[in-house]
Structure 1
Amino acid sequence: MRVFGITGRKNAGKTTLTEKLVAELTARGYRVSTVKHAHHATDVDQPGRDSHRHRQAGAVEVILASSNRWALMHELRGATPPELSDHLQKLSRVDLVLVEGYKLAPHPKLEIWRKANGADLLAPDHPTIEVLASDQGDGGTGLPVLDPNDVTGIADYIEARTGLTELKKRGSSMPEGVRWTPVEEVFAALKAAIHSIEGRETVALSAAAGRVLAEDAIARRSHPPARNSAVDGYGYAFDTVDFSAGPLPLAKGRAAAGVPYPGAVPPGHLLRILTGAHLPEGVDTVVLQEHVTLEGDHLRVTRPQRKKGANCRRAGEDMAAGDLALRAGALLRAPDLGLAAALGIAELTLRPRLRVGVLSTGSEIVPHDLAEDHPLQTPDANRPMLLAELTRLGFQPVDLGIVPDDRDAIRDALSRATTLCDAVLTSGGASQGDEDHTAALLREEADLQVWRVAVKPGRPLALAHWQGMPVFGLPGNPVAALVTALIFAVPALYQRAGAGWRAPQGFLVPAGFARVKQAGRREYLRARLTGAGTAEAFVSEGSGRVSGLSWAEGLIELPDAFCDIRPGDPVRFLPFQSFGP
């Protein structure tokens, strides 16, 4: 949040000025909160009140609530007082916080300095004081001086200094006169339009990683397959022993994982048993080895088990033969394969691996490895990038090469792709310029679902079906191409593969940056996490800055509505790894 301080010597008029500034800024339409630093013992409660009695009784915190307001009182009881930054985190989101006092805190401040007060200036010893409200000049500081009685002028300064003026520009970021499709509407259209590919094949478990399960996988054996010990210890029949009678006889031999005990354990005896060993007849309870003492061929149990069946696993405790192990549509991960192996499943019925073509368009584009021979042409960054990303995601990438800005060439490439691919990503030509032939072709000869999307980067985005094959017409700029592929194409490709719509898993982190975003579109910023756990945004939002993709670890998603983001505010971070299995 924006923070600005009002400071000064005692009786300088800090509270009076703060009060007037709150009224002035609120009248201008801003939401304002305040923080007041008290140097003396302070209390908002009254002795004898119920809440005061709660505190006196030892409550750490007390909330006093009514229909008009509520107050939280926290008792320090000798603990170190919180910093201003800690208090700010407890405030609701507002446009500006005015802080009275806290002259040592790092936020910018105004010092009120009146002649009638007869006190020295604080500013020479406090570099965060950057302006004076003074009726006696600047005191030799060289700082700008405002009239302490001109509340309007002081409010103007604070408004400009904190960036509040940016909030006055609230409005839509999208050009008028055109219908821009919201992101959620695009998602809904894709979910309705994209259908799973047909076919299935039986594949060995060892080759199933990253594939989509076509049929439910059923457990062929129980896990664990038989009763076994959960610990190293000594097994016995719970109802046949009396530990109070002294040491008990130890049966000869032992039971270990993979080496079962060959006979039955006599009543009243204990048997050495190791973790994972099958429980032989005559054993239903295991005592930890740390709780026994060996005395010759007898054992003294110092801490007997109080419950029959202690430290024992029953057969099928995890899953039983015949149970549903994995549901159809699952995108198989290493833990899924481990479960299948434990349940005796050697083969799985899978969907075919999804074939996704990548086609670059544009007469200015040349293969990246030939760029030196064509200094005036643009190296194709999108195709290698998208092919690599498809490989990471578990799809089968198909390189469809580069075609020039020629409608017939694009038509031939897409028609050829219908025999090689289950879906295609194109880059370039998705806008409405004279040379944007991809979008024009899809509008005229394909089933075009979406074109103008309210998103940044990637506003020119064509989503269509070409002879029944989904085609994602991505922008030509590399940043926009990858971002729109991740946001729109990847979830749809998983649905096409039979795994259902797979949205990325994001999480909230504190912003390490400030930004005012207008309403009207969703925005995605290249970002990474700092060592302190905050999200750092790339220095430039330009879609041509490919270096930002390599620098970033993921994306920050800003909602469609107006946003006024200050450092510390929660923002949604989508790691690149969350787009995928």
Structure 2
Amino acid sequence: MRIYGVIGWKNAGKTSLMERLVTDVRARGFTVSTVKHTHHRFDLDRPGKDSYRHRAAGAREVLLASHQRWALLHELGDEAEPPLTEVLAKLAPVDLVLVEGYKRDSHPKVEVFREGEGRSLIQPEDPTVRAVATDQPIEGLPVPTLDLDDTRAIADFILAETGLRRTAEEGPSAACFDPPQLQGMASVDEAQAALRGALSAVTGQETVALGEAAARILAADAVALRANPPGTNSAMDGFAFAHASLPATGEAALTLLDGRSAAGAPYPGQVPPGHAVKILTGALMPEGTDSVVMQERARAENGLLHFDSAVAPGSNTRAKGEDVAEGAVALAAGTLLGPGEVGLLAVLGLGEVAVRSRLRVGVLSTGDELAAPGSTRDPARTYDANRPMLLALAARWGHKAIDLGHVPDDRDTLRTTLDKAAAAVDVLITSGGASAGEEDHVSALLGSEGRVTQWRVALKPGKPLLLGQWQGLPLFGLPGNPVSAFVTALLFARPALSVLAGGAWLEAPGFTVPAAFAMTKRAGRREFLRARLTAEGRADLFRADSSGMISGLAWASGLVEIGEQAQEIAPGDPVRYYPLGSFGL
């Protein structure tokens, strides 16, 4: 097992960092155990517990077992405290053991150092400390300094130190992206189902202020700190009273009190039976009241409030917690936070939330023919449209888009670039080189030195879609034609990136509209055609179906889906239409 330590002086924040590291490393698909050392006279058991009574009676070992966990308490008596090596031998095999404490042992460690501790660094006297995680700049250290609040960077450092990033493809830890091999050319449904069933989150978590949480994914259930509404209040401007004060029929005449209850300024006293008080929308119901009559249905005369007594109990009120109860789960982990979700969390009192770290999506284009836009007028060169387009898509979907540049048709250069990407990003999207030609180095290199789990999909445009891994790094090899790359990114990369980021698999909602076109389709591949709706609500197609005509992407407002079967489509026939907005655009 790989072992890495977290040390530091008391109250430096070791346990908080351990907690965050366990969450981050587990989210990447690795198994983690921990060892915690204490120098104090700390007992795991408490007087009065059955297990404590067993031990006090003289039992050498007490084993507690339930449906949730088991624990073994072993009495050392006069024996010496066991060394770390002996403690580690008691653990079941895992990918990584994180050890808190045990400063004097020889395993590699990260030191936690906070400003104002009043103690000196451990690192200068301890060569086993390989990095310092700190909340202040420290100059002149022979080891890296890491931002104590950047859990992701600290976890990256530990995984790199232990070699887990490189070996993730070899064992079950790679389960975050290991779809089963499908035979031959898979259908769209088969490829999506295989991909969906193989994915899990690879991102860690961090806590951010609510104002920075939009477009982030919740890392833990968001629990209401208080109810909404926080107290029973009025839904109308009117008068509050006790319903029991009303006569069975006829007109009510209640004594009208001075003062009022307003939002943020509740009525200070109690309303006696037979009385009423002015109340404004959103104001807390005064003590002694349970109903509200709207002001336009009442009249005040000579200190009395008159209105028809046919008012239902609780009328025009909003009960405490009728929206969300205090302590209830308001939003589940994995929820993508939009403006509505942020508003909900705000009203429930959450000033900050635990969110997933942004997924680092690397984008790489390949091919000798590519040139930077505007760099040349040579007609033999093609401007690289895919990379800026895919970077824009990844950013639009809320991920951290990382430009990995352009690689020519050279296998050694591609290998070096992929190696660097494996240490820098969470998932890689390439375009070009995914087919079977002699210059298609992405598919060739993945096939010989990486892992290819799926190659071709029965899709038009976008048949040469490659799903694979490089050193455990999930890789989407998209076609080189821009329209093909765009469509495959929407259908496969978008929902997969959401899951890898800690969210849900995203389904694109579509609807049926009449066709404004005629076409004859052969059996074989499912097609997604660039389209937009006419003023009459019919789907019209772009003037050509060439996957190289990228102007169609700017023209289109959606895609029309045509199934795999052979069919004749006439104007007015129903077709399935997906607005681009249903793909998060």
- TM-score (structure 2 length as normaliser): 0.67
Asked if 1:480 is matched to 2:484, the reply is yes
Distance apart, 1:246 and its partner CA: 6.0
Q: Give the unaligned 5+ runs of structure 1.
A: 1-177
Equivalent of 1:321 in 315, 318, 326: 326
Largest Rg, 1 or 2: 1
State the 1:196 CA deviation.
1.3
CA drift of 1:460 comes to: 1.1
Q: Contact 2:203/2:500 (CA < 8 Å) preserved in 1?
A: no
User: Match of 2:273?
Assistant: 267
Deviating above 4 A after TM superposition, structure 1's stretches of 4 or more consecutive aligned residues are: none
Q: Does structure 1 residue 278 correspond to structure 2 residue 300?
A: no
SS at match of 2:244: helix
Give 3-state SS (helix, strand or coil) of 1:337's partner. helix
Q: CA deviation at 1:553?
A: 1.0
Tell me if the contact between 1:526 and 1:538 (Cα under 8 Å) persists in the aligned partners.
yes
In structure 2, distance between residues paired with 1:369 and 1:401: 16
> 1:435-454 deviations in whole A, cap 9, x for unaligned?
11111111111110111211
Confirm or deny: 8 A CA contact 2:250 2:309 kept in the other structure.
no
Question: How much does 1:192 deviate?
Answer: 3.0
CA contact (8 A) 2:203 2:359 kept: no
Does the CA contact (< 8 Å) of 2:252 and 2:309 recur in 1? Answer: no
Partner Cα separation in structure 2 for residue 230 and residue 441 of structure 1:
66
Q: Helix, strand or coil: the match of 1:536?
A: strand
Look up the match of 2:295: 289
Out of 244, 257, 260, the position equivalent to 2:250 is 244
Deviation at 1:424?
0.9
Any residues of structure 2 matched to 1:281-360 within 5 Å, and which? 281-301=287-307, 303-360=308-365
Report the counterpart of residue 76 of structure 1 in structure 2: none
Kept in 2, the 8 Å contact 1:247–1:295? The answer is: no
RMSD: 1.6
2: CA distance, partners of 1:369 / 1:383: 15
SS of the residue 1:263 aligns to = coil
Range with bigger deviation, 563-572 or 409-418: 563-572
Offset, 1:375? 4.5
The letter for the 1-side match of 2:352 is: E
The whole-number CA distance in structure 2 between the counterparts of 1:193 and 1:403 is 29
Equivalence for 1:362: 367
Residue-by-residue CA offset, 1:242-300 (whole Å, 9 max, x unaligned): 37366432111111111100111122112111110101112111011111122232222
In structure 1, C-alpha distance between the alignment counterparts of 2:362 and 2:542, rounded to whole Å: 30
Q: Distance in 2 between matches of 1:279 and 1:557?
A: 55
Give the aligned partner of residue 415 of structure 1: 419
Decide whether aligned partners of structure 1 residues 246 and 193 sit closer, same or farther in structure 2, where only a CA change above 3 A counts: closer
Q: Within the alignment, does 1:404 sit opposite 2:408 as a pair?
A: yes
2:180 corresponds to: none
Secondary structure of the residue aligned to 2:211 is: helix
Structure-1 separation of matches of 2:226 and 2:292: 25
Q: Which amino acid aligns with 2:393?
A: E
TM-score (norm 1): 0.67
Change (3 A) 1:186 1:393: same
Spell out, residue by residue over 1:307-331, the C-alpha distance to the aligned partner (whole angstroms, 9 max, x if none): 2111111111111111011111111
Aligned partners of 1:453 and 1:236: how far apart in 2? 68
In the comparison of the two structures, how many residue pairs are matched? Answer: 402
Residues 262, 444 of structure 1: alpha-carbon distance in 2 compared, 3 angstrom cutoff = same
Q: Does 1:506 align with 2:510?
A: yes
Cα distance in structure 1, aligned partners of 2:367 and 2:296: 74
Cα gap change, 1:290/1:362 in structure 2, threshold over 3 Å: closer, same or farther?
same
Match for 2:198 among 193, 203, 222? 193
Q: Equivalences for 1:24-423 in 2 at 5 Å?
A: 179-242=184-247, 244=250, 247-301=253-307, 303-372=308-377, 374-423=378-427
Describe the superposition over 1:169-214 as per-residue Cα deviations: whole angstroms up to 9, x where unpaired.
xxxxxxxxx9321111111221233331042111111111111111
CA contact (8 A) 1:236 1:269 kept: yes
Q: Which amino acid aligns with 1:344?
A: G
In 2, distance between residues paired with 1:245 and 1:539?
72
Match of 1:462? 466
1:440 aligns with 2:444: yes
Cα displacement string for residues 544-581 of structure 1 (whole angstroms, at most 9, x for unaligned residues): 10110000011111112223222222211112121139
What is the rounded CA distance, in whole Å, between the counterparts of 1:577 and 1:345 in structure 2? 30
Paired residues of 1:241 and 1:267 also in contact (CA < 8 A): no
- Residue of structure 2 equivalent to 1:57: none
Contact 2:434 2:443 in 1 (8 A): yes
Q: How far 1:473 moved relative to its partner?
A: 0.8
